[in-house]
Amino acid sequence: MTDTKHLDLNLKSDPVRESILSSALKQTPFPLVRSQGRRFIRIELNSAIRFRPLICKRGKLKLSKDRIDAQILNLSEGGVLFSCDRSVSDGDFILLTLNLNKLVILEGVLGKIKRVEACEEGDYLVGVEFCRKEELEKLSSPKQLEDLPVKVASLNRKLKEIITSYLHTNELATKET
**Per-residue pLDDT reduced to its tens digit, 138-175:** 888 888 888 888 888 888 888 888 777 777 776 666 67
What ranges make up the beta strands (E) of 58-177?
60-63, 68-75, 79-84, 93-100, 104-118, 124-130
State residue 113's pLDDT score.
97
Q: What is the largest CA-CA distance in the chain?
A: 75
Tell me the pLDDT tens digit for each residue of 34-56. Answer: 555 556 677 888 888 999 999 98
State residue 23's pLDDT score.
40
User: Is-contact 43 103, C-beta < 8 A?
Assistant: no
- Binning pLDDT at 50, 70 and 90, where does residue 123 land? very high
Within 13 Å, how many C-alpha atoms sit on residue 157's CB side? 14
* Distance (Å, whole) CA 54 – CA 145: 10
Q: What is the pTM of this model?
A: 0.70
Q: Is the pLDDT of residue 120 over 90?
A: no
Q: Is the pLDDT of residue 62 over 80?
A: yes
Q: Is the pLDDT of residue 3 over 70?
A: no
Q: Is the pLDDT of residue 8 over 60?
A: no
* Distance (Å, whole) CA 126 – CA 113: 7
CATH match for 32-176 among 3.30.1540.20, 2.40.10.220, 3.40.1440.10, 2.30.30.60: 2.40.10.220
Q: End-to-end CA distance of the chain: give it in Å, rounded.
A: 60
